[in-house]
Structure 1
Amino acid sequence: MPGDKSVSHRALILGGLAEGETVISGLLESEDVQATAAAVRALGPRVERFGPGRWRVIGAPWRSPDAPIECGNSGTAARLLMGAAAGFDLTATFVGDESLSRRPMGRVRRPLESMGVRFEGGDTLPLTMHGGGLRSIEHLNVPASAQVKSAVLLAGLGSDAPVTVIEPLPSRNHSEIMLRHFGAEVETDGRVTRLGAARKLEGRLVSVPGDPSAAAFAWAAAAIVPGSEVRTEGVLLNPLRSGFIMALQRMGADVRLDNVRGSQGETIGDVRVRFGPIFGAEFTPEEIPSMVDEIPILAVVAACARGETRIEGLDELRHKESDRLALMAEGLSACGVEARADGDALVVRGGPVRGGAAVRTEGDHRIAMAHLVLGLGAAEPVEVDEAEMIATSFPGFREAMRGIGAGIEELR
């Protein structure tokens, strides 16, 4: 499986903020992560590739770039880079592709403005920011967003003022873990996270674990295709990213974890999924943050399960690369599955899947990959109208799936 996307973004950014050299192995070389690498380089640090998945970052004070920072399709790149740049006396304009330019940036802009950052623009990209001179903040992270929390913490590295983030519901904690790995003092007390006095980062060795959001497509395929068994090694098993594994287990899937161990503050291990009977289940809003990126592929598993699955608390899916809630209901229905959006919930009644549809993706990589996996468990092939954008998160998707026996072909 490819390196984890969330960890890859953060390794490049923290390496650029650190003093000295950071060497990264296993970096995901997707379009999104490449955008972050180019952005960090444009802001002053030295960033270079010296082998497949192997990168070196030499930190330096960040400066105003010579051109707008191109974030491509990556909301993570845009929001985390804004936070990281906020602590420096610089001016930078952040831009993105058509999809990213429709996605809201107000949730990250508002807390950074509270810290003293000045912005030009509206609630979407392009945005121009003027950093430096930051003050204290106590931010209530609602709705739960690891990107906003990370932006606030990264901004706080450029100040000695108190920085606190309060989370009624937990979000991913990769930034906190990696900040500690780079030498920063980060205190977590229940749902409250604070930056301590030690905020100077030092270059480190970073080994990026396998991406569970990418592995989820192979796990799902094994769960729905008779006679299948898939094993993935060295995958990130952070409890705040393991929701999809727990969802499979609740639905009765044959899942086993082996060789679970710690690595640079994260938990990693090997995951084996084998075909077997699976059943519908209910999932509450509190469970969604730990599997928010895996909801499209969870819906595919639900389509092949016996009985009804209800997944609640999905409003966040309407603000991703597409309205994923609406598109999953539409795509599953086109393939003969009884599926509907019910407010902010997705309701799927599983059973034999007909397939045989051409599915609209609106350029969303996870919608495309989820429906291609659905085709593996359907009676008739499933087509997607676009596939090029899969490279934003999983450039080797087709080859990886073919490697485990999936029949995924490009239509000419």
Structure 2
Amino acid sequence: MSVRIIQPSHNCKGEILVPGDKSISHRAVMLGSVAKGTTRISHFLSGADCLSTISCFRKLGVAIEAKKDQVLVYGKGLHGLRAPKEILDTGNSGTTTRLISGILAGQSFPCVLSGDDSLNSRPMGRIMTPLNQMGAHITSIGGNGCAPLRIEPGPLQGIHYQSPVASAQVKSAVLLAGLYASGETSVTEPSLSRNHTELMLKSFGASVSSCVHPDGSATACVLPCEELYARDIRVPGDISSAAYFIAAGLLVPDSEILVKHVGLNPTRAGFLKVCQDMGADLTLLNQTTQGGEMTADILVCGSSLHGTVIEGSLIPTLIDEIPILAVLAAFADGKTIIRDAAELKVKETNRIDTVTENLAAMGADITPTDDGMIIRGGRPLHGTDIHSYLDHRIAMAFAIAALTADGSSSILDSQCVDVSYPGFFSELERLCER
């Protein structure tokens, strides 16, 4: 077990380029692998989860070259993957497991997916149900709806799937399988989840459409495809990683941080909206759009924050940022209510429980609910031992909380940040004075 000691900071100043977006990095490797030609990916996130995706596609016969400044994927075409000689190990990556299942459902060979203990305890029924409706044969080897999964493909037919949850992973698995199906495949979800798959499919040449309905639900459709075609991709900075440094800039007095080239896809940028609703001093600079993905530099200054309500259609746009939003709420004046976020229970940890446990240990006034939490902010927090439970977002969120706590804090199992941000602690040390 590694332990990282975090001391309070006097200010945080400087510029930072956060790692590439995890969601986009995964998808770039996947679509590049089943496209014709060479896909060149720059600013790729070399975290453990994305490396699991590379490993799986290498076992499926795809040559992938990871250089210092870019990743080259020598695509095999939609029907060029080959049967793996061993189990496909997806590590701790739910994104890898769920999305690759959609692609594997359309292949001509069987295979088995499995990951680490944490991954193999997460629900996979949410993708098994629609993919099996399309004609695949996906079974949970343990009979518990979790990985390991055995995927025995069959002829796929397009369906219209009414998803009970707004989940980009569910939607993406179905759309990727739809590339191999006969007829149109569509997914309707209660509200619009992140749309990186739709944007990237379109840029690789697939026929994709989407719309948001008057009631707030959203539908994405894909037609079967003969081929996808490689393209160059520059991955924007991950807003989920940027969120920790934005929070540091807001919470630590006399701070000013410029976070560069951050992805601002509207289906992911709910974190910024909530920060602004709480009174954050944020300025967007150098806004651009590339491959359908918006980016900007974000200038952050120390701010006095107040409580807010986070709910409804906002939740899918910031689900991964809720731990750091809870930290912001603990330092804000007044009450913050987070609801409609039951999805937190099926992340790397039950994040309702792990956020509540650690904030309470620091002295915060927090009450868990069935679908979120209530935080009464403004109480001084003190340093303590933070139990990450090997959840990278818990470790990083509470490292930021420790910057403005009274006394030092210890982040236990701090190595888990390597899943999404291998250089997180060194960057935090560089920017924040102790």
TM-score when normalising by structure 2? 0.91
- Aligned equivalents of 2:193 and 2:272: distance in 1? 17
- Aligned equivalents of 1:11 and 1:206: distance in 2? 7
8 Å CA contact 1:165, 1:193 repeated in 2: yes
8 Å CA contact 2:137, 2:154 repeated in 1: no
Q: Shift of the alpha carbon at 1:353?
A: 2.6
Q: Deviations over 1:116-160 (max 9, x none)?
A: 111232311111101241112111122111001001111111223
SS in 1 for 2:228: coil
From 173, 197, 202, the counterpart of 1:175: 197
From 86, 90, 99, the counterpart of 2:118: 99
Q: Shift of the alpha carbon at 1:199?
A: 5.1
From 237, 240, 245, the counterpart of 1:218: 245
1:152/1:197 CA distance change after superposition, 3 Å:
closer
8 Å CA contact 1:103, 1:124 repeated in 2: yes
8 Å CA contact 2:308, 2:337 repeated in 1: yes
1:50/1:342 CA distance change after superposition, 3 Å:
closer
Q: Which moved more, 1:192-201 or 1:90-99?
A: 192-201
Q: Which amino acid aligns with 1:97?
A: D
1:57 aligns with 2:79: no
SS in 2 for 1:241: coil
- Aligned equivalents of 2:407 and 2:179: distance in 1? 53
Q: Shift of the alpha carbon at 1:198?
A: 4.6
Q: How does 1:141-290 map to 2 (within 5 A)?
A: 141-190=163-212, 191-196=218-223, 198=225, 200-290=227-317
- What percentage of aligned pairs have identical amino acids? 40
From 359, 362, 377, the counterpart of 1:335: 362
Q: Which amino acid aligns with 1:56?
A: L
SS in 1 for 2:131: helix
| Structure 1: gaps (5+ residues) | 408-412
Q: Which amino acid aligns with 2:23?
A: S
- Aligned equivalents of 1:396 and 1:55: distance in 2? 19
Q: Shift of the alpha carbon at 1:405?
A: 1.6
1:7 aligns with 2:58: no
SS in 2 for 1:219: helix
1:128 aligns with 2:150: yes
Which of the pair has the greater relative contact order for Cα pairs under 8 Å at 6+ separation? Answer: 2
Q: Deviations over 1:71-122 (max 9, x none)?
A: 0000000001111111111111001001111100000111110111112323
1:392 aligns with 2:409: no
8 Å CA contact 1:234, 1:268 repeated in 2: yes
Aligned position for 1:78: 97
- Aligned equivalents of 1:328 and 1:127: distance in 2? 30
1:46/1:221 CA distance change after superposition, 3 Å:
same
Q: Which amino acid aligns with 1:58?
A: Y
- Aligned equivalents of 2:336 and 2:398: distance in 1? 17
8 Å CA contact 2:180, 2:224 repeated in 1: no
1:88 aligns with 2:115: no
Q: Shift of the alpha carbon at 1:258?
A: 1.2
From 54, 62, 84, the counterpart of 1:37: 54
- Aligned equivalents of 2:415 and 2:242: distance in 1? 19
| Structural RMSD (CA) | 1.2
8 Å CA contact 2:180, 2:225 repeated in 1: no
Aligned position for 2:128: 109
- Aligned equivalents of 1:126 and 1:198: distance in 2? 29
Runs of 4+ in 1 over 6 A off after TM superposition: none
From 306, 310, 317, the counterpart of 2:337: 310
Q: Shift of the alpha carbon at 1:188?
A: 1.2
- Aligned equivalents of 2:95 and 2:102: distance in 1? 11
Q: Which amino acid aligns with 2:37?
A: G
| Structure 2: gaps (5+ residues) | 1-17, 213-217
Q: Deviations over 1:262-290 (max 9, x none)?
A: 11111111111100211111111321100
Aligned position for 1:19: 36
Q: Shift of the alpha carbon at 1:197?
A: 5.3
- Aligned equivalents of 2:370 and 2:134: distance in 1? 35
Q: Shift of the alpha carbon at 1:172?
A: 0.5
